[in-house]
Structure formats: structure tokens, C-alpha cells
Amino acid sequence: MRHIPLLFAALFGLIATAQAELVVIAHPEGPVELSQNELRDLYLGRSDHWQVLELADGHPLRQAFHQQVTRRNEAQLRAHWSRLVFTGRGTPPRQLNDPQAILGEVARAPNVIGYVEADAVTDEVRIIFRP
């Protein structure tokens, strides 16, 4: 019975995150706009034109982003990156633990993109895609 409040809190957090509007952000001097296909290629290692940042495995925003953009779940992503790393054809995106860290990194580097909730966006970055 002690775990029931924890379960409800986790479920509420997942539902709230799933309903949040996600956006892809870039430095103001970075890319102006990217298509969903370009983003999918970047986040799946098919293109390396921009450095991409990810949230950590299991983060609800990461799951929502990949469901909308790459159309892959966590298991599919792990398998995809395992194949690429094993064959020497790719390196997975750098993972950060929270959206604030992604905001900070993107604000500092013109060649970096990442995703966050729309309401977290500041004047230091620019929205380049809305799934």
C-alpha cells in the first residue's frame, strides 16, 4: 500500500509530460528550421550536420519526442544504436539528465540542437521545429 501514492505520482508525471508541447531548439546562430525527416536522420545517426542532444534513457520527454519524431520506442532506439556502434557506423547522441541542461548547452553552442517543452524556451534559444 505504501507504493500506491508513488505510482500515482509517477503516472501523473507521465501524463502531464505526454501532454506537454515539445519543441526542437537551436542557438540563435544555428539552423533556421529543420523538417521532421531531417530531425529523424539526425537523431538516428543518418546525418551529422548538427550535434544533437538527448535526454537520458527513460525520461518521459525523450519517449514523447521519439514517439513523435523518429517513431521509435526505447527498445527500438537501443537496438538501433547498438547496431550502429557495433559496426562502427555511428555514435549515439550525448545524453543529458534534464531539459534545463539541454537549454544551457544549446544556448552556448551554435552547432547544437535539442528538444525541450515549449514553455521552457528562453530568449537565448530559438524554436526550429514543432512536432
Q: Residue 1: inside a domain, yes or no?
A: no
Provide the pLDDT for residue 12.
46
C-alpha cell at 89: 557506423
Provide the pLDDT for residue 127.
96
Provide the pLDDT for residue 131.
87
Q: In what order do the strands lie in the sheet with 94-96?
A: 94-96, 51-55, 112-117, 22-26, 126-129
How far is it, in rounded angstroms, from Cα 57 to Cα 73?
A: 11
The more confident residue out of 6 and 28 is 28
Q: Residue 115: inside a domain, yes or no?
A: yes
Question: In whole numbers, what is the pLDDT of the chain averaged over residues?
Answer: 88
What is the C-alpha end-to-end distance of the chain, expressed in Å?
39
pLDDT at residue 11 is higher than 90: no
Q: Residue 76: inside a domain, yes or no?
A: yes
Q: Residue 93: inside a domain, yes or no?
A: yes
Is residue 93 a contact partner of residue 56, using CB atoms and an 8 Å limit?
Answer: no
pLDDT tens track for 13-71:
444 444 679 999 999 998 888 999 999 999 999 998 899 999 999 999 999 999 999 99
The range of the structural domain enclosing residue 46 comes to 21-129
The more confident residue out of 70 and 5 is 70
* Helix, coil or strand: residue 126: strand
pLDDT band, very low/low/confident/very high, at 4 (cuts 50, 70, 90): low
C-alpha cell at 80: 538501433
Q: Residue 97: inside a domain, yes or no?
A: yes
Task: Give the chain's domain count.
Answer: 1
How far is it, in rounded angstroms, from Cα 76 to Cα 53?
A: 18
Q: Residue 31: inside a domain, yes or no?
A: yes
Position of cell 544549446?
A: 106
Query: What percentage of the chain exceeds 70 in pLDDT?
Result: 85
Q: Residue 73: inside a domain, yes or no?
A: yes
Q: Residue 7: inside a domain, yes or no?
A: no
pLDDT at residue 10 is higher than 50: no
The more confident residue out of 19 and 12 is 19
Question: What pTM was computed for the model?
Answer: 0.82
Read off the CATH number of the domain in which 87 is found. Answer: 3.40.190.10
Is residue 55 a contact partner of residue 103, using CB atoms and an 8 Å limit?
Answer: no
